[in-house]
Amino acid sequence: MKRIFITGALGQIGSELVTALRKRYGTDNVVLSDIKADKSEFSNSGPFYQVDCRDSKKIVEIIKKHGIDTVYHLAALLSASGEANPQAAWDINVNGLYSVLEVARETGIAVFTPSSIGAFGPNTPRDFTPQDTIQRPTSMYGITKVTGELLCDYYYHRYGVDTRGVRYPGIISNVKEPVGGTTDYAVYMYYEAVEKGRYTCFLKGDTYLDMIYMPDAIKAGIDLMEANPERLRHRNAFNVTAMSFCPEDEAAYIRRYIPGFEIDYSIDPVRQALANSWPNSLEDYAARVEWGWSPEYDLDSMTQDMLKVLQKRKDRGRK
């Protein structure tokens, strides 16, 4: 039975990964942390620490106290927040990870760290981007993600730390709204479709990016950490994807279920530039072969599920 520590547990991924890990390993075996305080049932129902991921001393204490063997390191600034504050992005994303890796070197715990499609850049092959290819990102977020991949590989080869990671595409979810990302438009479009029947998108309608529905993103994180290490030829970080679409495609699928849905555009140049520098679609063969990765949701099944969940929530709110 794993005993898990999570940094950045209150974010978009943490808010759903925690529930999945608690179900699998038991609530007391999943220790949450975030730089923010939280008084909700979510964090009150199990162990929670308000701690900065750069505070390695405090994290070692927690790891020892709870007998932790695995950390899911989710604390980070995302792409648009990183462009708004590049210094903070470097500090949190790189120094935060460095602190966690040092803790792992000292205590022997395994480390899961998400990288991103942001780790690619404008001269990466754009279609079916291979696992091993050119990575020259032009955003601070991307630079921190490539640095993170390299650091994690270094700690594995040099110190034997069991580091593993995936390059997540944009994640679509309905528990915690995303903040500060470029792919966030795809989440907001569903929320606004249900609330208002219309959406103003900050990316151009024909901007293709890889996406994944949260249940598949969670499955990837758990399956990789449970994979047989002997089968892993790669470690940091595996391409994973479930679908590639643009805002116009998403709007068209929403119209299958909300026929009057309307979309218009007010382009954010910063997020458009980030999206333009990322792949249109990834190839995830290594993840499929080395640890059996296979997503369940495509654009249609995700759209149906998102709209069903959000509509139910709206109807409950009306009562």
Q: Of 79, 99, 129, 163, which one interacts with ligand SER (CB under 6 A)?
A: 79
Instruction: Considering the candidates 49, 141, 208, 253, report the single residue annotated as catalytic.
Output: 141
Least distance CB 10 / ligand NAD (angstroms)? 4
Residues numbered 267 to 306 that lie near ligand NAD (CB under 6 A) are: none
DSSP string, 10-24: TSTTHHHHHHHHHHH
Residues numbered 147 to 176 that lie near ligand SER (CB under 6 A) are: 170
Least distance CB 273 / ligand SER (angstroms)? 12
Please list, in sequence order, all residues whose beta carbon lies within 8 angstroms of the beta carbon of residue 146, skipping any fewer than 6 positions away: 115, 119, 135, 137
Site string for ligand NAD, 109-128 (x = CB under 6 A): -----x-x------------
Query: How far apart are alpha carbons 20 and 18 in whole angstroms?
Result: 5
DSSP class of residue 260 equals: T
Least distance CB 78 / ligand SER (angstroms)? 4
For residue 237, say if its preceding peptide bond is cis, omega within 30 degrees of 0. yes
- With binding defined as CB under 6 A, does residue 225 bind ligand NAD? no
Residue 214: both structure tokens together: 């949260």
* Closest-CA residue to 76 (of 44, 112, 108, 27): 112
Q: Of 175, 179, 267, 289, which one interacts with ligand NAD (CB under 6 A)?
A: 179
Q: How far is CA 7 from CA 108, 206, 246, 281, in A?
A: 17, 35, 31, 29
> 299-318 vs 247-257: helix axis angle to the nearest 10?
60
- With binding defined as CB under 6 A, does residue 12 bind ligand NAD? yes
Least distance CB 116 / ligand SER (angstroms)? 3
Q: Which does 94 bind (CB under 5 to 8 A by kind): ligand SER, ligand NAD, none?
A: none
Least distance CB 18 / ligand NAD (angstroms)? 11
141 labelled catalytic: yes
Q: How far is CA 157 from CA 108, 226, 234, 235, in A?
A: 14, 20, 12, 10
Residues numbered 175 to 234 that lie near ligand SER (CB under 6 A) are: 181-183
Among the residue ranges 120-128, 151-159, 174-182, 309-317, the one whose residues contact ligand NAD (CB under 6 A): 174-182
User: Contact 51/35 with Cβ under 8 angstroms?
Assistant: yes
Q: Which does 182 bind (CB under 5 to 8 A by kind): ligand SER, ligand NAD, none?
A: ligand SER
Rg (CA), the chain: 19
Interface ranges with ligand NAD (CB under 6 A): 7-8, 10-14, 34-36, 52-54, 74-76, 78, 92, 96, 114, 116, 168, 170-171, 178-179, 181, 183
Residues noted as catalytic: 141
